[in-house]
Amino acid sequence: MTAFYNHMDPFLADDDAQTMLRLAENFGSFGTYADEASNDGLGEKLPQRFDAAFNYIQNGIDGAGNEDDIETASQRTNYFRETYAYGDEIKASGVESFMNHPALKETARKVSHRDVIVPAIIYANLLVPGQELAVHTDVPEFRGANRKLLPQWLLVVMLHSGLFDEWRIPIATCVSWFGEAKGGAFTFYPDGPKGARQSIPAQHNSAILIDTDEVFHGVERVNQTLPDLPQIDKHMRLHFLGDKKWQLRDGDKPLADYDWSEIRYSISWKAYCFASQAEEQLWRSGSDNLTVDFILDRLEAALREQGVLTGPRPDPTAFAGMMVGHFVKFPQAQMAAE
Ligand SMILES: [Fe+2]
């Protein structure tokens, strides 16, 4: 089934699009997308998104293979992210009106076919030349199961298993692009993982609103302007220096200089989409929350029914790998058309 989405080009009024660039500048510096806290007894030795990382290292962005070694692959995908707003907490002043943008809410209503739209989060991503983003689906949410409580890969498994749909809270995501970077197209599989990969250019002041929890998507490589991609470790930051200049630094040590026009800048707006206020209330009340034991037992039962697991439940790391391998079906390389 083709996923419904809305491509908006242009997206905002010109002045408002410029404001989005100023937000990044005023924010001052961006850290890398570091892993969130680990979760005891649930494959805590694994990266939060090992589902996407392992697939990317093996298959590359389009399933055709990855020519990079693991080290380079992780540099490529270790992009920069900061949160502009989280619920009522505004971290980038000036983003308030965007959070509650009436046109965005209306588009989310249309795309999700749900009436009650509750904006949840805005974050900004910066990719330097040579970086790209592995194909993945975003971290979904369920009543009683979110990224503060469970590993991200487990939430992804829950969605792809289809076993927890009655607890799911669909999230609409609007990804918008600002600036002049070349390359870095948004690539996605609107017809499902077996369908064709499509791309939308990350054109200044354009956007897509889509269910990124269901639809596999990624970012094509941003045009590389330096001969070698610098080593990008978790603790490094990208600093705005003024006058359209950004600098990658390790502490105080400069590593690479970039012009604004080389940096891919996107903003993601995410909103919960409830079918009714009663459903929103049910979520807020916490009276119908999933528990981790129920989740793991149900997944284990499905693995046994489907002949994937016999004997005792394996150790957490092996169990995690089994669940991702069985339930999360990544897009495979398309055969070249004749
Ligand atoms: Fe995503």
**Tens digits of per-residue pLDDT, 182-191?**
999 999 999 9
> Residue 148: what pLDDT?
86
Dihedral sign from CA coordinates of 271, 275, 279, 280: positive
217 alpha carbon – ligand 1 mean position (Å): 6
Cα(28) to ligand 1 centroid in Å equals 23
The DSSP-derived string for 10-61 is S-S-HHHHHHHHHHHHHH-EEEE-------TTSSTTS-TTHHHHHHHHHH-T
Distance 138 CA to ligand 1 centre (A): 5
* 70 CB-near residues (< 8 Å, 6+ apart): 57
Residue 267 Cα, ligand 1 centroid: separation in angstroms? 11
CA 137 from chain centre, in angstroms, equals 7
* Single-letter amino acid, residue 190: P
State in Å: Cα 285 to ligand 1 middle: 28
Residue 206 is predicted with a pLDDT of: 98
Residue 304 Cα, ligand 1 centroid: separation in angstroms? 31
Q: How far is the CA of 203 from the centre of ligand 1 (A)?
A: 17
The helix-helix angle for 70-77 and 50-59 (nearest 10°) equals 120
**Å from CA of 218 to ligand 1 middle:** 6
Q: How many angstroms is it from 283 CA to the middle of ligand 1?
A: 24
Interatomic CA distance for residues 79 and 291, integer angstroms: 33
Alpha-helical segments (H) within the chain: 14-27, 50-59, 70-77, 96-99, 102-112, 152-161, 277-285, 292-305, 316-327
- Assess whether pLDDT exceeds 70 at residue 307: yes
Listed range (54-68, 190-204, 250-264) with the worst mean pLDDT: 54-68
Give exposure, 60-84, as e/b (b: 16+ Cβ within 10 Å): bbbbeebeeeeeebbbbbbbbbbeb
Task: State the pLDDT at residue 2.
Answer: 67
Q: What value does the mean pLDDT take over residues 282-307?
A: 97
| Helix (H) and strand (E) counts in the chain | 9, 15
Query: Which position has the token pair 């487990």?
Result: 154
- Is 193 exposed, middle or buried (CB count within 10 Å of its CB: 0-12, 13-18, 19+)? middle
- Average pLDDT, integer, range 142-164: 95
Cα 215 to ligand 1 centre (Å): 9
pLDDT averaged over every residue in the chain: 91
Neighbours of ion ligand 1 (CB under 5 A): 138, 212
- Alpha carbon distance, N-terminus to C-terminus of the chain: 24
Whether residue 10 is preceded by a cis peptide bond, meaning omega within 30 degrees of 0, is: yes
The token pair at 324 is 């991702």
Domain boundaries, the chain: 6-36+60-150+160-289
Task: Using the mean position of ligand 1's atoms as its centre, give its distance from the Cα of residue 253 in Å.
Answer: 31
CATH topology of domain 6-36+60-150+160-289: Jelly Rolls (2.60.120)
Q: Give the model's pLDDT for residue 336.
A: 40
**Would you say residue 38 has pLDDT above 70?**
no
Report how far ligand 1's centroid is from the alpha carbon of 336 (Å).
Answer: 26
Give per-residue pLDDT as tens, 88-131. 899 999 999 999 999 999 999 999 999 999 999 999 999 999 99
More confident residue, 61 or 338: 61
Residue 233 gets which letter from DSSP?
A: -
Q: CA quadruple 60, 64, 65, 68: dihedral positive or negative?
A: negative
